[in-house]
């Protein structure tokens, strides 16, 4: 392992993991693996007002599902065995245990702090630096804690250091006072005036107050924040590994809040401190953070630290234009959270393959790639600058492709699990209301495998087998009106009855697709009509629809007794 290459994925647990967040994690993972480096997971949980309790667990489970297993940080383990890169292949669902990770208190740079030892739990050290808390939890690494909320004292220490050096200052302004400043200075050319080098000397802060005044306010319990003191008239430059040379004028930057009134840091301070103290060599993150990069560059300079290399990934765009926000995604029917892809049984390899190509190109128009192949090919210089359009139809194409690679038996086994968890499609078919006949079909591996074989080329995702194949589990309650109008004419019932009589006379061993097709040919030849004159009515009678999988294979799978019963019902109802 190349100890010089260290990257991190640092999500905030303020909501379920966005599909774009998974792409960021993937690119970090690929870069680390490509160079033999370290992939770190760090939880940036300093925004307590927006903290979502289940979000961290969702992040951990989503990374495990995608096969992106961190070398350091909180790690998810399955209840039956530890996850590894190899275990996560094939898109198989894994029941993941709840994480009870305790990161401990803040420690010094590069030190390992064992939170479980501090809380009195028994721990075990392993050769790779892993700390085990109990059978359900595990975390790795010697640069922890990996939760920012456990490092608050360190951030406060750095903030004081910046203030003492004249690179930051205490600000006591209330929200109302800041808004009054903005109202006073607002113009058409400057609709949102900033708290910056031009306005800071008009505000209530340690730059405009003497030491006695400031001390009195602190003693009286006045709330304050720590702001970064942005220099005036400076051009801040750095080289971005995706975008090349980048520059910002400091006059366009605000005096960023570094430490909030609750004593917790903002992203800007915490990520710089953590990246330095965790020896992160490359920061690979979304384009939305590009405008914050000059502030981070200044912080590195003021603290006397070497900044990591930076790469800002292109935005993920909606097919209709603009960033793929939750609202846009919902409007266009695109699942936006990784949990949606997990629950709807998208193929893991398909999602990862699609996301890898959402901004990166391996060259030579290659599309299908395993995680190992992506690792060997990945490079940041082949990541594009312009926004990458989330082509949902292309994702479904990938999903179809990967799903059809899997054996019918494997898919059938997973379908059985889905049905046992959710029941069959329809309001009246939850798992508690399955009939004994339906339960028997679900447990019949040969039946489910046969159904998969018939429908495999007609569906894009695993749950769609149940919608497309619902007629295998229950006879049609009604018939498609358009199909009936088109295919059930005068004389149709007699023709269907003749076919019904022929197949009911077969012995069970002869009730096979080839024989059923041969009998249909005989009947239409005797009737002097075309193939569709009987084929369409038979399909309507058996499935309720005018389209579907191979009819004769479906008839064989349903069985003689069930098919004859459905034909009789259709003749009686449709006449």
* Nearest alpha carbon to residue 343 among 561, 6, 58, 133: 58
For the CA atoms of the chain, what is the radius of gyration? 31
Q: Which of 82, 98, 180, 326 is catalytic?
A: 326
Residue 570's contacts (CB-CB under 8 Å, 6 or more residues apart) are 479, 496, 537, 540, 541, 542
Quick one: tokens of 565?
């019963």
CB neighbours of residue 306 within 10 Å = 8
Residue 224's contacts (CB-CB under 8 Å, 6 or more residues apart) are 170, 171, 172, 217, 218, 261
156: burial class by Cβ within 10 Å (0-12, 13-18, 19+)?
middle
Residue 485 is a catalytic residue: no
**DSSP per residue, 400-418:** HHHHHHS-HHHHHHHHHHH
Positive/negative CA dihedral, 183, 187, 188, 192: negative
CB neighbours of residue 19 within 10 Å = 25
Tell whether residue 82 is among the known ligand binding residues: no
Helix (H) or strand (E) holding 61: helix 55-66
Phi, psi of 205 (to 5 degrees): -150, 175
Quick one: tokens of 296?
């981070």
**DSSP per residue, 263-278:** SPBPHHHHHHHHHHHT
Quick one: tokens of 491?
């004389």
Distance CA 434, CA 455 (A): 22
Point out the residues that are catalytic.
326
- Binding residues for ATP, as ranges, are 326
Residues marked as binding? 326
């Amino acid at each position: 392992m190349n100890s010089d290459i260290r990257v991190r994925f640092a999500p905030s647990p303020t909501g379920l993991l966005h599909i774009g967040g998974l792409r960021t994690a993937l690119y970090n993972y690929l870069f680390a693996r490509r160079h033999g480096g370290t992939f770190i997971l760090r939880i940036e949980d300093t925004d307590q007002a927006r903290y979502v309790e289940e979000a961290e667990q969702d992040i951990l489970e989503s990374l495990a599902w995608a096969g992106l297993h961190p070398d350091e940080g909180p790690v998810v383990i399955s209840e039956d065995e530890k996850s590894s890169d190899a275990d996560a292949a094939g898109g198989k669902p894994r029941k993941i245990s709840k994480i009870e990770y305790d990161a401990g208190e803040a420690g010094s740079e590069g030190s390992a702090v064992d939170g479980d030892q501090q809380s009195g739990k028994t721990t075990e050290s392993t050769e790779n630096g892993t700390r085990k808390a109990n059978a359900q939890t595990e975390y790795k690494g010697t640069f922890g804690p990996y939760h920012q909320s456990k490092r608050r004292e360190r951030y406060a220490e750095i903030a004081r250091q910046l203030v003492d050096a004249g690179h930051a200052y205490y600000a006591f302004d209330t929200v109302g006072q800041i808004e009054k400043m903005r109202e006073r200075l607002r113009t058409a050319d400057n609709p949102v005036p900033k708290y910056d080098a031009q306005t800071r000397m008009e505000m209530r802060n340690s730059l405009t107050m003497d030491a006695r005044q400031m001390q009195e306010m602190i003693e009286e319990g006045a709330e304050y924040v720590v702001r970064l003191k942005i220099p005036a008239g400076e051009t801040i430059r750095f080289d971005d590994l995706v975008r090349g040379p980048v520059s910002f004028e400091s006059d366009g930057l605000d005096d960023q809040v570094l430490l909030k009134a609750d004593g917790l840091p903002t992203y800007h301070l915490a990520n710089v401190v953590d990246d330095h103290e965790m020896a992160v060599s490359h920061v690979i993150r979304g384009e939305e953070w590009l405008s914050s990069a000059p502030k981070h560059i200044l912080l590195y300079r003021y603290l006397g630290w070497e900044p990591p290399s930076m790469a800002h990934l292109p935005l993920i765009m909606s097919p209709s234009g603009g960033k793929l926000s939750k609202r846009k995604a919902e409007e266009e029917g695109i699942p936006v959270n990784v949990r949606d892809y997990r629950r709807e049984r998208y193929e893991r390899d398909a999602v990862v393959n699609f996301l890898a190509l959402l901004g990166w190109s391996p060259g030579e128009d290659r599309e299908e790639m395993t995680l190992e192949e992506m690792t060997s090919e990945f490079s940041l210089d082949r990541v594009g600058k312009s926004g990458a359009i989330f082509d949902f139809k292309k994702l479904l194409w990938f999903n179809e492709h990967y799903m059809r690679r899997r054996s019918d038996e494997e898919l059938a086994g997973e379908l059985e699990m889905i049905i046992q968890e959710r029941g069959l499609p329809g309001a009246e078919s939850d798992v508690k209301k399955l009939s004994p006949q339906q339960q028997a079909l679900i447990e019949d591996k040969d039946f489910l495998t046969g159904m998969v074989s018939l429908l495999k080329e007609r569906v894009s995702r695993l749950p769609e087998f149940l919608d497309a194949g619902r007629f295998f589990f229950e006879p049609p309650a009604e018939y498609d009106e358009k199909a009936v109008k088109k295919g059930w004419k005068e004389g149709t019932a007699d023709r269907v009855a003749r076919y019904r009589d022929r197949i009911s006379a077969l012995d069970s061993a002869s009730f096979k697709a080839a024989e059923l097709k041969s009998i249909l040919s005989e009947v239409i030849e005797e009737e002097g009509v075309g193939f569709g004159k009987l084929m369409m009515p038979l399909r309507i009678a058996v499935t309720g629809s005018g389209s579907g999988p191979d009819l004769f294979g479906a008839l064989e799978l349903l069985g003689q007794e069930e098919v004859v019963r459905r034909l009789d019902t259709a003749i009686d109802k449709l006449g």
